[in-house]
Structure 1
């Protein structure tokens, strides 16, 4: 182990990244090796069984790829199986990733997972734990590790799991925090789908039937870039080309710019009739200031 490998930071709760700072599940201290995510990033936990199906790697790749171009950080536990595939996919698609481990940073990580850990750090991600440097990996450490995975994340994706397993502990922590739990449904007779199907059957999780829809289901709008045509639209540009918005459309856009809202939320948050809101949304969509990929949530992110 090199001197570089030994270096790590000790963080107090006020320094915790993502949503962990406000989480009731936060540990008293964190030990971190690597680079913390930017303050505006959003943690998405992706968890599952160590013994997934033969198609699980491709499933994880498609789920993770859908998060490209957003502020997502993939959070998982560096275990074999689903965790490994999700970290790996995040690295391949240029998405930041955090691995939360159930041992000290000075304890060797065996096998291919050691190589993956190094890749995560080299790519600008980090490995973190609540355990001191030489603290070994005991079985009882893993449920505690899972609460940190949930605490770091806005939503948790249960990819594959048996009817009982560590990933379900993370799912339960997610529900305990009243956060969004997303589950991938599977065949009724598939052992690896028993966990997700159970939470879906109980109405505790939101399904993602098509992996490419994960970004939308998790409520992650695309980051505006210069090469993205809709993102280049601004109020000033709209006016410059002679497309003048009505006063009602302008007011609604300014009120919700940078947010995503369902139609029901718009009704609750503004004093307008349904038909007026529909007309305004049509006007804003035609102007490129609002988009709705699923006709359910409306993203007011066309201008800064």
Structure 2
């Protein structure tokens, strides 16, 4: 594939909108659809095309990307993609969903001569804007290579991790690690503050040592300031932790720390923080110590 690929993009939310925008900037012809007419209009205002529905977004496309909240939405949209896409279409589902849903979508697509990949991402809204997403791809190797020109307009780390569904399993592993780190950073802040130590200085030291992480680099200052504008909402991380716990059960392995993190994320949601950034796990740790 060369530049100027005809792309259908379904799902223009916090992640999808900047991803679609970067595809437009890369010179591709992007037709997008979202349940929000405002988001569709926003895409059109930067050089993309708006669609009135999934069928219109898919029609005539070489590649279709879906970026949807959860498995039920993918289960609803995938049949429309398959029905309205032509043979040879490359279908990239970049949502974070259950691995078995990705395998189902791949089988559905294959029945119509459509190549399907699961390609969930990590990096949050900032990574989507900056084109620095990490993309974990499941599917056939030759299809991954065919998709690479599109993926390279979206992320800086693109790894083929295995067959259909493998991308989602790796994403589940990613989310359990991210959730665990947020929880530990939150505990570090509570410990430092309760001990009368400046948390800014403390986390600056941590960020430069073995405890350093992308999360500390990007989020330590906003966490200390209790600024939780969503780059990735607690509601979505709650969904993802459910996927991780279910994947562990299916694989027959015990992940005790994952279970605890899943409960902390569930507590954040139960306490009314679902619309906040997942760094708001700090609120749960603070409440435990109130």
Q: TM-score, normalised by structure 1?
A: 0.30
> In proportion to residue count, which structure has more helix?
2
Larger RCO, structures 1/2 (Cα 8 Å, 6+ apart): 1
Could you say which structure has the larger radius of gyration? 1
